[in-house]
Structure 1
């Protein structure tokens, strides 16, 4: 969003001035505005505060603004009023005190184009329809029992991951761990959703990455929604429409193949082997529901789960391994615990053997504190005027919670920018939405419902990789030389792939 968007805007200043001239005029005010709005930096005509986001990734730029102007900052990005919360107390008021007021998502013109009215769980407006979909996810799709039922799938895909790494080690070559981890999580997620692996996984991952980079919400038509010219000159509508059609075709094919497969194997008893698409199709037959589950709803829920279920877990796994590579003493401590706990258990890492691990969960918690997969979470919309930290938040404003900045706030964390899993030793703070200085998955009504699903992938793969292999950086690279810059997108991934050298230590089971 920052540098590239600003460059495009500045190069098009004459065009932007025309946008300003063609915007709908503001309604006349009958009296002076007596609201106490949050503070903010100086603004430019037309583009507002966009120039303050130049030169840094959004979550870093917004933290810098918060340090200068306070934990609640008001910005104008083009035509969009945006309020940014960057402290524990501000996050608590948004996600708990006034959770109902901020329970809906803002939907930009390009997001409307992408969803075409079927908003799934992530972007559905707060209301009974959303509550039904959320309940389906929490009770049917992502319940503890359902997540546990997919344990054989995760273990099988973890085995594939380990065999691929072992083959590279035997050949004396490096491993692109970023690619391998993304494939592991994607294959496991897809198998949980549709019951089988799929041949077009690589094409799916490319489409997923393409969609994350388009980032509806920060395009010219989104920033200047009242300007028809902004939409005409932007490439975003065509890109989003092309991506939407590709993903819809992908989902249509999956559903058709799944129905054919189930029709040919009719008569199975019980629902223990149901995949998530089975559950959705079964619930669709609930004709008595006030809010029926349409085929478009099913498609969008599947896309939500494909994206959120695979992308966030893969990102967290990559950061965990990157931080362990940068901190060899932490790596050794985690490996010693895993190998000690699993010694004599047949050299196979299974989920039932992870319950006694103590230090590895601290590594995961510290990874999520330093590197929340979605550093700005997902935005909320102020549905009714309210106050946060004593400031008035205007109705209709987009509200962003900077989870990345909050997780590195020196007011609540010692050495906040350092990777120190031991900080959680004896520290009961957790990431499940009640400790607002640690909110990688958000909080309140809009908290991520798939925490257990994602953590299951992270814990198993991380334990298995540490149990079977030691790890080195290629070419004699020192730990401090590893490139850990972030890329821009909905998720903050490593900018460069994590390429490492595996050294076998514990043989794989045949």
Structure 2
């Protein structure tokens, strides 16, 4: 156990008894209007958060207990900062959609300042001109349907990668998650750098990305508490991050420079392995008008590429695994989906095209039901209040961090019939999910992509990929449960919420 945690645990023994009587609630003037929550220890934070050091309770389970006790909006103190968690869909709509830009900002990341980095990436940039420029570039130049068609060769190639890898084991039980995740990563690498890389290089990039992401999410939270002190106590962690960043740069920069040369020479390259358009191409063209019209630095491009790979890989592969697990567990649903696919495509086509997938209502229902019951992220990325605002009769003070409990909304028993059952028919005419709008513009019933001004830029792209790959995996194989190794829907929190016991299935080829 780190020195910091030992000191913090020792503090817990003494400090709460000295302060709870005086500071036990949210009472007192303006503070009394804060959403309800557990008592807090001044300078350190809410007792329930501090006690996690000793009890190691999962954060989501802890929040569910607090929601049950205090209601659908809860406030916690993390050090000197106020964090608010919202589990009610009506309050979420009021805050994120009706509230306009009030919650369109992001909280700062203390570790970034310690590392000397700026926040010029889409998920972390403050609500302002840089964020608008970067997001507009991603949406219009890479994720727009007119551009998406340019990536069709990459999707077809990845489809073949998936099929070939899944066929390798014959009908023996197959660990599907590794194949799905690798294939999604191949696709995003191809789209990002415009080049089809060999498996060794893809695995190296994948390992570098995952090592960096896991270290940041598991080891860097301590810098949110007294960074002036913790940067000395945990200097080794900062050095570790520097090393992981250097490794990432060594892998990414040659690929970025290769794309510079590609653009410089008018796009002449191997048409078999090189895409005519890539995400890096768009980043090389960006100028920041508020900063002297300068181009992005190499380090900024590397971080944007890293963001692109992380955002598109884990979320999509996690959603695919959950959906395929449900189809394994529910063979009647799988066969109904297969019947729709066969009726639309027959057996002559090499694959289910995106155009075909768009015209399959049951396929879309299966994907939506997977996202409702198993959203890859059980929380959206945190928002920051740009001003004092009122939600549900409570004050959200300026600077507070606000998060929204996505899974709670999609599994709300008052909104959905039998919410913990997998029922795609609910999204067909006459079902309780008919006409649901995942953008939440008119009302929130489920929000797997977030809602409001910081809604996921890749929403349409992600839906297209999920429909395309689910359709093709069901068309190629019958996914069957393994006797003695049944599907287990227990959850585990990593970067996304994954299956605690990864999916294993017996795959029976449907086509020769």
**TM-score past 0.5 threshold:** yes
Structure 2: how far apart are the matches of 1:142 and 1:373? 20
**Is residue 36 of structure 2 the alignment partner of residue 39 of structure 1?**
yes
The correspondence for 1:439, drawn from 447, 471, 476, is 447
| Change in CA separation of 1:264 and 1:132 when aligned onto 2, cut-off 3 Å | closer
Q: What is the Cα deviation at residue 292 of structure 1?
A: 4.0
Alpha-carbon spacing, 1:70–1:217, altered in 2? closer, same or farther (3 Å): farther
Counterpart among 293, 296, 311 of residue 294 in structure 1: 296
Instruction: Sort the Cα spacing of 1:183 and 1:374 in 2 relative to 1 into closer, same or farther, 3 A.
Output: same
Change (3 A) 1:310 1:146: same
Matched, 1:485 2:490: yes
8 Å contact 2:122–2:135 — kept in the other structure? yes
Q: Equivalent residue of 2:169, what SS?
A: helix
**1:167–1:142: structure 2 CA closer, same or farther, 3 Å change rule?**
same
Q: Within 5 Å, give how 1:442-461 maps onto structure 2.
A: 442-461=450-469
What's the counterpart of residue 385 of structure 1? 388
Q: Does 1:307 align with 2:307?
A: no
- On the 8 A contact 1:347/1:506 being kept in 2, the answer is no
Query: What corresponds to 2:476 in structure 1?
Result: 468
TM-score w.r.t. length of structure 1 = 0.86
Within a 5 Å distance, the mapping from 1:200-279 to structure 2 comes to 200-216=201-217, 219-225=220-226, 228-229=229-230, 232-233=233-234, 236-263=237-264, 266=267, 273-279=276-282
Q: In structure 2, what is the equivalent of residue 424 of structure 1?
A: 427
Over 3 Å counting, the alpha-carbon distance change for 1:257 and 1:14 in structure 2 is: same
1:311, distance to aligned residue in structure 2 (A): 1.6
Counting only pairs closer than 5 Å after superposition, residues 184-203 of structure 1 correspond to structure 2 as 184-199=183-198, 200-203=201-204
How far residue 204 of structure 1 moved from its aligned partner, in angstroms, is 2.1
- How far, CA to CA, are the matches of 2:438 and 2:344 in structure 1? 25
The two structures have a TM-score, normalised by structure 2, of 0.86
Q: Which residue, out of 356, 360, 365, partners 1:357?
A: 360
1:307-344 CA deviation, whole Å, 9 max, x = no partner?
A: 10112111111111112122222222212222232214
1:109/1:34 Cα in 2 relative to 1: closer, same or farther (>3 Å)? closer
**CA offset at residue 218 of structure 1?**
7.8
Q: 3-state DSSP class of the match of 1:506? A: coil
Partner of 1:62: 63
User: 195-204 or 445-454, which moves further after superposition?
Assistant: 195-204
Aligned residue number for residue 23 of structure 1 = none
**Structure 2 residue matching 1:150: 3-state secondary structure:** helix
- Distance in 1 of aligned mates of 2:231 and 2:338: 54
Q: What is the Cα deviation at residue 143 of structure 1?
A: 1.1
In structure 1, the residue matched to 2:9 is 13
- Specify whether residues 225 and 498 from structure 1 end up closer, same or farther in structure 2 by C-alpha distance, changes over 3 A only: same
RMSD of aligned residue pairs (Cα, Å): 3.1
Measured in 1, the distance between the counterparts of 2:405 and 2:176 equals 28
Moved more, 250-259 or 288-297: 288-297
User: Which one of the candidate residues 475, 478, 499 is aligned to 1:494?
Assistant: 499
Are residues 11 and 337 of structure 1, via their aligned partners in 2, closer, same or farther at CA, if it must alter by over 3 Å? farther
